[in-house]
């Protein structure tokens, strides 16, 4: 059986894991799945139907209907949908449905880079590489503000920071699959690091694992 290669990337909102995941998938020619989009798709479906975010059975139905090939980043990337996604992500049954789809995706040759909150701990505990990408809340808030301003928007730093801290608390504090580094994850703190440096650091970790495997 051909070995399917898996790179699991976890970390809090805004730490740069999405960009890193994309760069690594390109470099190692692997499939790419931003699992946050799957939770966002569920939240989006509820919002579209004007249903409350704590309607678990509607959230389960929406989760079953999530099609990984049709996740529309342009629609799903809105800030409010991220907040709502963090709320529907607390429901274990919703998680189970989405995790199954994410695992199927990971199994497709030649393998994949998946980024999210519970990839190394729950979705792909046997991943070949696990990275935990983090940055201080202040740095993440500053980056988000710069991003908003770069597209002509305005925002308040204190509000963005409060949002980030709040989202961290919800994602790290939930009972089912909370955000935390897997015991065997490589930690990458990007607070003082540009994306290129983070990419190079991740490649060093991955190439090291690949070289050891070739020798074995
Ligand atoms: O990475 P993101 O901002 O798109 O994720 C949105 C929310 O979805 C996040 O706050 C928590 C949830 N999520 C999750 O619980 N597990 C994942 N693997 C990915 C995202």
Consult the annotation and say whether 173 binds a ligand: no
| Alpha carbon nearest to ligand 1 atom 16, residue | 117
**Which pLDDT score is estimated for 2?**
63
Residues with CB under 6 A from ligand 1: 13, 35-36, 39-40, 82, 85-86, 89, 116-118, 167, 171
**Which pLDDT score is estimated for 198?**
94
> Band of the pLDDT at 156, cuts 50, 70, 90?
very high
> Band of the pLDDT at 48, cuts 50, 70, 90?
very high
**Which pLDDT score is estimated for 3?**
83
Consult the annotation and say whether 146 binds a ligand: no
pLDDT digits (tens, 9 = 90+) for 110-124: 999 999 999 999 999
Q: Answer yes or no: is pLDDT of 1 > 60.
A: no
- Please tell me the pTM assigned to this model: 0.95
Q: What is the 8-class DSSP label of residue 156?
A: -
Among 87-91, 113-117, 136-140, 146-150, whose mean pLDDT is lowest? Answer: 146-150
**Which pLDDT score is estimated for 31?**
98
Consult the annotation and say whether 181 binds a ligand: no
180 — alpha (psi -120 to 50), left (phi > 0) or beta?
A: beta
Boundaries of every domain in the chain: 5-206
Domain 5-206, CATH: 3.40.50.300
Consult the annotation and say whether 13 binds a ligand: yes
Residue 204 CA to ligand 1 centre (angstroms): 27
Residue 38 CA to ligand 1 centre (angstroms): 8
Token code pair at residue 189? 């703190």
Q: What is the DSSP string of 8-42?
A: EEE--TTSSHHHHHHHHHHHHT-EEEETHHHHHHH
> Band of the pLDDT at 214, cuts 50, 70, 90?
confident
pLDDT digits (tens, 9 = 90+) for 167-190: 999 999 999 999 999 999 999 999
Tokens 């701990």, residue located: 121
| Alpha carbon nearest to ligand 1 atom 4, residue | 36
């Amino acid at each position: 059986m051909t070995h399917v290669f898996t790179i699991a990337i976890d970390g809090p909102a805004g730490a740069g894991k999405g960009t890193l995941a994309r760069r690594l998938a390109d470099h190692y020619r692997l499939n790419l799945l931003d699992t946050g989009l799957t939770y966002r798709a569920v939240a989006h479906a509820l919002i579209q139907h004007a249903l409350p975010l704590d309607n678990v059975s509607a959230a389960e139905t929406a989760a079953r209907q999530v099609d990984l090939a049709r996740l529309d980043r342009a629609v799903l990337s809105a800030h409010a949908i991220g907040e709502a996604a963090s709320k529907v992500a607390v429901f274990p049954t919703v998680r189970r449905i989405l995790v199954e789809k994410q695992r199927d995706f990971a199994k497709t040759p030649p393998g994949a880079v998946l980024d999210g909150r519970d990839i190394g701990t729950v979705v792909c505990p046997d991943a070949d590489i696990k990275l935990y990408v983090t940055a201080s809340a202040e740095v993440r808030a500053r980056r988000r503000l710069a991003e908003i301003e770069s597209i002509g928007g305005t925002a308040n730093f204190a509000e963005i920071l409060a949002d980030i801290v709040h989202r961290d608390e919800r994602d790290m504090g939930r009972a089912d699959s909370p955000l935390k580094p897997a015991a065997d994850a490589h930690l990458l703190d990007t607070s003082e690091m540009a994306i290129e440096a983070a990419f190079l650091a991740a490649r060093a970790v991955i190439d090291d694992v690949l070289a050891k495997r070739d020798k074995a």
